[in-house]
Amino acid sequence: MSFDRLINNIKQKQNPTVAGLDPKLDYIPGYIKENSYANFGKTLEGAAEALFEFNKGLIDALCDIVPAVKPQAAYYEMYGWQGVRILERTISYAKQKGMFVITDGKRNDIGTTMEAYAKAHLGTTDIEGQDISAFGADALTVNGYLGTDGIKPLLEICQKDDKGIFVLVKTSNPSSGELQDRTLDDGLTVYRTMGNMCESWGAQTTGETDYSGVGAVVGATYPEQLGELRKTLPHTFFLVPGYGAQGGGAKDVAPAFDENGSGAIINSSRGIMCAWKKEGCDPTDYAQAARREAIRMRDEIISFIGEIR
Amino acid sequence: MSFDRLINNIKQKQNPTVAGLDPKLDYIPGYIKENSYANFGKTLEGAAEALFEFNKGLIDALCDIVPAVKPQAAYYEMYGWQGVRILERTISYAKQKGMFVITDGKRNDIGTTMEAYAKAHLGTTDIEGQDISAFGADALTVNGYLGTDGIKPLLEICQKDDKGIFVLVKTSNPSSGELQDRTLDDGLTVYRTMGNMCESWGAQTTGETDYSGVGAVVGATYPEQLGELRKTLPHTFFLVPGYGAQGGGAKDVAPAFDENGSGAIINSSRGIMCAWKKEGCDPTDYAQAARREAIRMRDEIISFIGEIR
């Protein structure tokens, strides 16, 4: 269990960013939707098939320069099981193209139920002696509110197939401080306490780099806390949302990286998916617009952190 | 947005319990599996169709005496999109039979992403002006670690269709105290703080009873905290896991109820689903064994709390 494959992918492409695949119908060019509705109707299936075409175009345009994608489960579930089927196809297609896939599901539960989520999203499901992959992502975001019982079942399943998890530590939203910034009786904040739990859970994992297989989600909108956590959590790799649409810039995310330019991957979802709208280019050029934005984002971040070693 | 429909269902049946539908292949009688494999193969689909047959039998046997079911999303996701399709069919079938359906998904995210989960599981998805129901449960369990930004989108969507949510407050697992029992700088525990947030989120909802549409998950394995929270959260309805297999008994769950015998619903999953194994009855009698266990559980709890008014 480690993030070695992700870290190697980042180094090789010299690009510490991940493209969020949170496809809403609003983001998809009209010609893709019309085509899908013509084949499948204005139904959950028709919408879901349009999402897949959109995703496929993005993955094709990004896979040689962006190391990872992060599909957000909510946007697939919104289109029913038909949407969830497209989540599986999106994961599979991105992996075929060499991308590292992080399913953003923020799953959480205990014991055998958490084990079921781990099997679903990262491992395999046993059906009468055959191990079948259900969704097969490389990493999953999880919520640690339930403590160690909610994390341990993941560690066991991730160990076998060299997968990783990202635990919510300090989220990017305005109200994240309501609980996460509160101070506990030992003087540490809730988010620092959760961060320390990540270090301790990660200590049971092994990999080639200094980073464990237990990462943390830390928002770009809180650069001070990003820097504090980078210093205090030396073995915890960061997934950083909040760049772009939520207001974080390259300067804000710079504290997430270590002295080698490693230790973090920065997510952009709407910035990349909706680049064609912002550019005002021809809708059929949406995937290349996404690529241009991905290159701009990469170059902007690299200009702050230098070469990734 | 309220729990009026659930509370009315409980009163009418004089039964404050919910049957957890967490179907694992191990729990399903062999004849159901063999039949499904013969039709669909030893595949995710074959397994999923067996789960549905099993669920259908349980729902048929329980619907006149048990007010609600709680499918646990993890056990459906474990069987891929084919399993998630069965989640949708299970929800739909239980609703047809008059049961209140709580999807146990412990979902959490922020802003438009949380809105997507709310639309997926409780509301409807807009496809070119048509509102289509994706999963259509009556209530959803959620995790409040992200604060108000993660709850508000649910309130807006629940308001429209009179749905409810249950926020994790004090979970039933042994390690729940690692974070939830810690004391904050104002002297309150994390779980009390989360409970108070439920009261405040619920204040924006309306219904006929004193209980709001924002409930709390509080484990049967912590009877003292159950009692403490019942006293301090007068408008928060409790969903109580941990009865039976996890060790909680009827005496342990009694503090969850108010002086009218209302205010809580107690979950049993394995106890009901696996009653046929415990009884050692003929596997074809699994649904009636579940019914016998559901009646035993109901009578045991009612003997502690009296008539539900």
First to last CA, chain B: 21
- On whether the CB atoms of residues A238 and A229 are closer than 8 A, the answer is yes
pLDDT at A190: 95
User: Can you read off the two tokens belonging to residue A6?
Assistant: 């992700």
| Most A-contacting residue of B34, B103, B106 (CB-CB within 10 A), to test interface | B106
Residue B152 burial (CB count, 10 A): 17
Residue A210 burial (CB count, 10 A): 13
pLDDT at B249: 85
Q: What is the mean pLDDT of residues A34-43?
A: 98
Handedness of CA B75, B78, B81, B86 (dihedral sign): negative
- Residue of chain B whose alpha carbon sits nearest to that of A113: B74
> What are B277-286's contacts with CB under 8 Å, separation 24+?
B277/B27, B283/B29, B283/B30, B283/B31, B284/B29, B284/B31, B286/B29, B286/B54, B286/B57, B286/B58
Query: Which H or E run contains B126?
Result: strand B125-127
| pLDDT tens column, A96-127 | 999 999 999 999 999 999 999 999 999 999 99
Q: What is the mean pLDDT of residues A222-251?
A: 91
C-alpha B129/C-alpha B122 separation (Å) is 18
Residue A234 burial (CB count, 10 A): 12
User: Can you read off the two tokens belonging to residue A77?
Assistant: 């579930």
B141 lies within 8 A of chain A by CB: no
- Inter-chain contact A147–B173, Cβ cutoff 8 Å? yes
Q: What is the mean pLDDT of residues B279-302?
A: 97
B267: β partners: B18
- Burial class (CB within 10 angstroms; exposed 0-12, middle 13-18, buried 19+) of B165: buried
A146 lies within 8 A of chain B by CB: yes
Q: Mean pLDDT: which of A190-194, A208-212, A242-246, B248-252 is highest?
A: A190-194
- Inter-chain contact A108–B113, Cβ cutoff 8 Å? no
A25: β partners: none
B179 lies within 8 A of chain A by CB: yes
Polymer length in residues for chain B: 309
Question: Sorting pLDDT into bands at 50, 70 and 90, what band is B204?
Answer: confident
DSSP alpha helices (H): ranges in chain B? 4-13, 30-40, 44-62, 73-77, 80-96, 111-121, 152-161, 177-180, 190-202, 223-232, 250-253, 270-273, 275-279, 286-305
Q: Which residues of A are catalytic?
A: 106
| pLDDT tens column, A139-181 | 999 999 999 999 999 999 999 889 999 999 999 999 999 999 9
Work out whether strand B238-240 and strand B264-268 pair parallel, antiparallel, or are unpaired.
parallel
In our burial notation (b when 16+ CB lie closer than 10 A, e otherwise), range A164-187 reads bbbbbbbbbbebbbbbbebebeee
Write the DSSP assignment of A162-202 as a string of letters: T-EEEEEEE-SSGGGHHHHTPBBTTS-BHHHHHHHHHHHHH
C-alpha A36/C-alpha B26 separation (Å) is 40
pLDDT at B199: 97
Residue A154 burial (CB count, 10 A): 28
In our burial notation (b when 16+ CB lie closer than 10 A, e otherwise), range B79-103 reads bbbbbbbbbbbbbebbbeeebbbbb
Residue B183 CA, distance from chain mean position: 28
Query: Which H or E run contains B100?
Result: strand B100-107
Find residues 257-276 of chain A whose CB sits inside 8 Å of chain B: none
Q: Does residue B3 sit in helix, strand or coil?
A: coil
pLDDT at B207: 86
- Inter-chain contact B42–A146, Cβ cutoff 8 Å? no
Average pLDDT, chain B: 96
C-alpha A76/C-alpha B249 separation (Å) is 39
B85 lies within 8 A of chain A by CB: yes
A4-305 topology per CATH: TIM Barrel (3.20.20)
Q: Which of A79, A128, A172 sits opposite B125 (nearest CB)?
A: A79
C-alpha A177/C-alpha A191 separation (Å) is 9
pLDDT at B226: 95
- Inter-chain contact B44–A77, Cβ cutoff 8 Å? no
- On whether the CB atoms of residues B17 and B66 are closer than 8 A, the answer is yes
Polymer length in residues for chain A: 309
pLDDT at A229: 97
Q: Of all residues in chain A, what percent carry a pLDDT higher than 70?
A: 100
How far, CA to CA in Å, does A230 sit from each of A46, A71, A186, A259?
Answer: 44, 25, 21, 10
pLDDT at A242: 87
| Residue A244 confidence (pLDDT) above 90 | no
| pLDDT tens column, A63-73 | 999 999 999 99
- What is the SS3 assignment for B179-222? HHCCEECCCCEHHHHHHHHHHHHHCCCCCCCCCCCEEEEECCCC
C-alpha B57/C-alpha B105 separation (Å) is 23
- Residue of chain A whose alpha carbon sits nearest to that of B33: A128
Q: What is the mean pLDDT of residues A30-40?
A: 98
- On whether the CB atoms of residues B8 and B255 are closer than 8 A, the answer is no
User: Can you read off the two tokens belonging to residue B184?
Assistant: 């904050």
pLDDT at B206: 80
- Residue of chain B whose alpha carbon sits nearest to that of A30: B128
- A183 CB-side CA count, 13 A: 6
Q: What is the mean pLDDT of residues B55-66?
A: 98
- Residue of chain A whose alpha carbon sits nearest to that of B73: A117
C-alpha A1/C-alpha B64 separation (Å) is 48
- Inter-chain contact A113–B178, Cβ cutoff 8 Å? no
Q: Of all residues in chain B, what percent carry a pLDDT higher than 90?
A: 93
| pLDDT tens column, B212-249 | 999 999 999 999 999 999 999 999 999 999 898 777 78
